[in-house]
């Protein structure tokens, strides 16, 4: 409507006709009439516009027609008399009734006002509808055809899938269980660290079960209004009951299942009412038949005990970090849609990723593919996985960071100390790679890869780990006679490891078989005013034992590096020359410098000194450094 109004005003104010006419002042027009040069005129009474033709043979600016502006409403009597005296023909155009202009001027404002009120009314109705639906559950219901994920897409975790399959079989064939009186658990809680595939397993259940699958997130129940979460829980179970047998899956259960009455400020009304309603729906006065509830959390320690009792979540399924064999299967799943080179050994990649979850492995494979694209390669090769692992574990290489020659030499001997100790110590993990290129927050790194996955760590392994961590600091002392700040991260790790040996693992003769774990989280309302459960004298003994362990291992590290000084020097010089060495190169350099022969006895360092190892243990062939 606004465009029409503007167009109408422009049309009203535009000069008429579009015909080429000469523009005259009104006085010039009267002079032309008096001279007899005007033949006829047309007068518009609404706006006073006068257009006309000149007499035959007369022109103004090479034009035979003219236009001028007169007085609206009618010409003056004197001008009319002048026109009559000169025989000028007149044609009057009466004022026209402008219907469009009338509508725009008088009716348009009312239309706009009415439209505004209609829009406000509809908006209010929408808001009222949203308020009325605020108690509706936001769960998504999946039919038997929609989910695409199955147990075949979940690599490893055979024991977990077996327990979940039992629930799926009960929903598919309930008669088989009822014949012998078996009762399926009403709730299955998937517990495990982040990224281990708990939600993926739940999606696989949706693809395998053949029954409706109702999925919701714990945060969907929380609102600013008290009672809304409880209403959504009721609506959730009503939706599932209509489609029973069915599975309800609640992701991130800890967001609504925290212990009631805990925290610094007391309870949380909305969360606790939501939890109370869920407890009642799962195993309350009215029995719920044909509905199995699944949930996932990585914080089972914060859940309310009433939620974990039999009859509710009476079965907890642990989804731990994958083992080496499971990591191998997970990697093969992620290799399916990637173009992997022939030099990539999935077993080596799995062995080099201890502690990584399924999500971490997926990210590792994707990062390797990105590195391959950056190199302009057509397939992902082993070097891309090496770079991707360094990127994930330590960060990007800082190419722009330039070290001075003195700093570079200190870093080289520091990393050579780590690598030499890692090779010659009996219980230390083998060296995988050593570099003095700044990566992430580190100026240099020494990577070790275990030959096999461990679940129990002996004291000898831990003490050798302390010696390897202290190798950089001690190497700087032996070679340069001073200390630097480069060992900061090593000392933090050593202190934490030694403190766990004394406080948690009972590896101190003075403390004995006693353990004190970390204190509980304050936000749970536990251990709020309780900081430690041992005396000041025990704390002093703990500090003394931690110090003694670190000093003993530092002395052993100094003895090891002094005995193997030629190997330390050889590795450091090679790092200064090539900046990066792999494990085989470190072994060859140390063996050649120390005069060890391939296939001969290997010298290893124990807590009681340097001894000869088993002569039957073969050594790799020596490495010959290039010129």
The pair of structure tokens assigned to 41 is 């005129």
Answer whether 597's CB lies under 8 Å from 620's CB: no
Query: Closest Cα partner for 501 from 546, 553, 537?
Result: 546
What end-to-end distance do the CA atoms of the chain give, in Å?
Answer: 87
Give how far Cα 564 sits from Cα of 122, 202, 430, Å: 85, 55, 17
Q: Rounded CA gap, 326 and 266, in Å?
A: 43
**Beta pairing, strands 49-54 & 246-251:** unpaired
**Beta pairing, strands 603-606 & 445-448:** unpaired
Q: Rounded CA gap, 394 and 399, in Å?
A: 14
Whether 415 is a known active-site residue: answer: yes
- Which residue reads 């239309």 in tokens? 111
**Beta pairing, strands 65-69 & 22-23:** parallel
Residue 576: beta bridge partners? none
HEC secondary structure over 257-310: CECCCCCCCCCCHHHHHHHHHHHHHHHCCCCCCCEEEEEEECCHHHECHHHHCC
Contacts of the segment 235-241: beta carbons below 8 A, 24+ positions apart: 235/135, 235/136, 235/137, 236/137, 236/139, 237/281, 237/288, 237/291, 239/137, 239/139, 239/141, 239/214, 240/212, 240/214, 240/291, 241/288, 241/290, 241/291
Q: Give me the catalytic one of 367, 409, 415, 553.
A: 415
Q: Rounded CA gap, 500 and 43, in Å?
A: 108
Q: Which residues are catalytic?
A: 415
């Amino acid at each position: 409507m606004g465009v029409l109004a503007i167009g109408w005003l422009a049309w009203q104010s535009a000069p008429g006709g579009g015909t080429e006419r000469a523009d005259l002042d009104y006085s010039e027009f009267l002079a032309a009439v008096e001279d007899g040069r005007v033949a006829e005129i047309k007068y518009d009474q609404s706006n006073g516009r006068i257009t006309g033709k000149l007499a035959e043979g007369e022109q103004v600016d090479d034009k035979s027609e003219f236009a001028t502006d007169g007085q609206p409403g009618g010409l003056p009597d004197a001008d009319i008399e002048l026109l009559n005296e000169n025989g000028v023909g007149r044609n009057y155009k009466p004022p026209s009734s402008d219907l469009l202009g009338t509508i725009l001027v008088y009716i348009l404002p009312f239309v706009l006002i009415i439209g505004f009120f209609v829009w406000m009314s509809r908006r209010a109705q929408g808001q009222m509808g949203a308020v009325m639906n605020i108690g509706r559950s936001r769960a998504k219901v999946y039919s038997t055809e929609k989910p695409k994920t199955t147990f075949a897409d979940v690599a490893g975790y055979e024991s977990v899938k077996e327990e979940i399959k039992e629930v799926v079989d009960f929903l598919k064939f309930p008669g088989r269980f009822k014949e012998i009186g078996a009762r399926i658990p009403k709730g299955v809680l998937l517990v495990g660290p982040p990224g281990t595939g708990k939600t993926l397993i739940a999606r696989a259940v949706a693809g395998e079960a053949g029954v409706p699958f109702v999925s919701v997130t714990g945060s969907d129940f929380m609102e600013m209004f008290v009672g809304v979460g409880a209403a959504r829980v009721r609506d959730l179970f009503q939706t599932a009951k209509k489609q029973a047998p069915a599975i309800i899956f609640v992701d991130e259960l800890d967001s609504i299942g925290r212990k009631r009455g805990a925290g610094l400020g007391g309870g949380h009304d909305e969360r606790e009412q939501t939890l109370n309603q869920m407890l009642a729906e799962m195993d309350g006065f009215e029995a719920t038949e044909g509905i199995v509830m699944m949930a996932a959390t990585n914080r089972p320690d914060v859940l309310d005990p009433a939620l974990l009792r039999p009859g509710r979540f009476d079965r907890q399924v642990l989804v731990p970090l994958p083992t080496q064999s499971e990591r191998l299967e997970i990697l093969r799943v992620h290799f399916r849609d990637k173009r992997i080179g022939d030099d990539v050994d999935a077993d080596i990649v799995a062995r080099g990723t201890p502690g990584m979850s399924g999500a971490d492995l997926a990210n590792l494979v994707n990062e390797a593919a990105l590195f391959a694209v950056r190199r302009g390669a057509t397939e992902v090769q082993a070097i891309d996985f090496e770079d991707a692992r360094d990127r994930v574990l330590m960060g990007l290489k800082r190419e722009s960071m330039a070290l001075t020659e003195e700093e570079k030499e200190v870093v080289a001997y520091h990393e050579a100390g780590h690598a030499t100790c890692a090779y010659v110590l009996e219980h230390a993990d083998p060296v995988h790679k050593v570099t003095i290129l700044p990566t992430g927050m580190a100026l240099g790194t020494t990577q070790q890869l275990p030959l096999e996955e461990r679940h129990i760590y002996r004291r000898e392994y831990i003490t050798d780990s302390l010696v390897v961590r202290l190798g950089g600091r001690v190497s700087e002392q032996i070679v340069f006679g001073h200390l630097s700040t480069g060992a900061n991260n090593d000392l933090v790790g050593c202190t934490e490891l030694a403190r766990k040996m004394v406080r948690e693992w009972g590896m101190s003769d003075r403390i004995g078989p006693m353990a004190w774990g970390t204190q509980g989280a304050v936000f749970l309302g536990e251990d709020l005013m309780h900081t430690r459960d041992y005396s000041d004298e025990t704390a002093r003994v703990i500090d003394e034992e931690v110090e003694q362990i670190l000093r003993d291992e530092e002395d052993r590290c100094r003895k090891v590096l002094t005995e193997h000084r030629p190997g330390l020097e050889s590795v450091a010089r090679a790092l200064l020359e090539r900046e990066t060495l792999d494990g085989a190169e470190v072994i060859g350099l140390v063996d050649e410098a120390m005069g060890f022969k391939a296939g001969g006895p290997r010298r290893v360092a124990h807590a009681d000194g340097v001894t000869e190892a088993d002569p039957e243990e073969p050594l790799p062939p020596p490495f010959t450094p290039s010129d």
